[in-house]
Amino acid sequence: MNRIASRTLTGGFDEHSRTRWGTQMSRISWARMRKAAYAGLLATLISAGLIVAAAPAQAQPSWCRPWAFVGVPGSGQGVQNDPSDPWGRDIGSIRANFLMQRGAANVMNFPINYPATFSHNPLAALDSYNLSKDKGVLETRRVMEYVSAVCPRAYFVLAGYSQGAHVVTEVINSVGFLPRAKVYRVALIGNPRYGRWQSSSVPVDGERQDVGPGLFQPTLDGNAFDAYAEPKAKDVCIDGDWSCDPLDLHKPWNYDSPHNKYAGHHFPGAGSITITQWLGKYWLGNA
């Protein structure tokens, strides 16, 4: 039993002890009042939305990784067209270079399973394409929503080729279905929504004003991305690619066109490094 408590029980307080006791109790009361006032103020600010309470760290399954690579192959590619290759050559190359940069053990891989069809019948081509593309958008969103919910600390990088680039463009512009900060970077090639004047656009073998707009870009000077998504994207188009530069009439509209050259064509200013290598290693990989 301490001396103050002993004197309380025995009634042996002298004047000095009573003064000390009163001072000590006053300090304790003031500290409690101040603590209660701070707690009340904090609760008021949180309820008013003026500050956000820090959420506790969320648990994740053991299979979650820091990065989620989402790849959307182009028309005629992907698991529904070639079960042995869910990525396609171009997205496969971007992914391989991203894995080399970030380490395979740090990456979850999600090839998007969608029809990836485009009818060569002119009467059915548009409906066929839009139906396939819309299914790709829904599936990409579904995958991202699931991964975001189960692995809340993971960040996304996305890559799309041709019709797959169109899919990613629509997804990234409507990414309000999950926190937009979770999308780090986006790499697109042969994008039918290519917009020539955005800073994200990378024309290859031609001047900016001469490459694009894409096949499904509504206006000559239209943008592929909104203001939030644009800094996160690199949208590469080779001059004469019928998908992203259909108005370049001196190049043939066939599958031997530049549309098939991204995995082997050099990236501007990068020496012998190809477009898909640069996008995977230096753009997505340095996110």
Q: In what order do the strands lie in the sheet with 233-238?
A: 107-111, 67-72, 155-161, 183-189, 233-238, 201-204
**Mean pLDDT for the stretch of residues 246-252:** 68
Would you state the pLDDT for residue 279? 98
pLDDT grade, residue 6 (50/70/90)?
Answer: very low
Q: Find the distance separating the first CA and the last CA of the chain, reported in whole Å.
A: 63
Verdict on whether the full-model pTM lies above 0.95: no
Would you state the pLDDT for residue 235? 96
Q: What is the pLDDT of residues 169-197, one digit of tens each?
A: 999 988 777 778 899 999 999 999 999 88
How many angstroms separate the Cα of 158 from the Cα of each of 9, 94, 110, 171, 229? 74, 10, 10, 10, 12
Would you state the pLDDT for residue 225? 86
Residue 200, pLDDT > 50, answer yes
Quickly count: other Cβ atoms within 10 Å of residue 15's Cβ.
Answer: 7
The three-state DSSP-derived secondary structure of 77-131 is: CCCCCCCCCCCCHHHHHHHHHHHHHHCHHHEEEEECCCCCCCCCCCCCHHHHHHH
CA torsion, points 140, 141, 144, 145, in degrees to nearest 10? -150
Q: What is the pLDDT of residues 114-168, one digit of tens each?
A: 999 987 666 666 788 999 999 999 999 999 999 999 999 999 999 999 999 999 9
Would you state the pLDDT for residue 96? 98
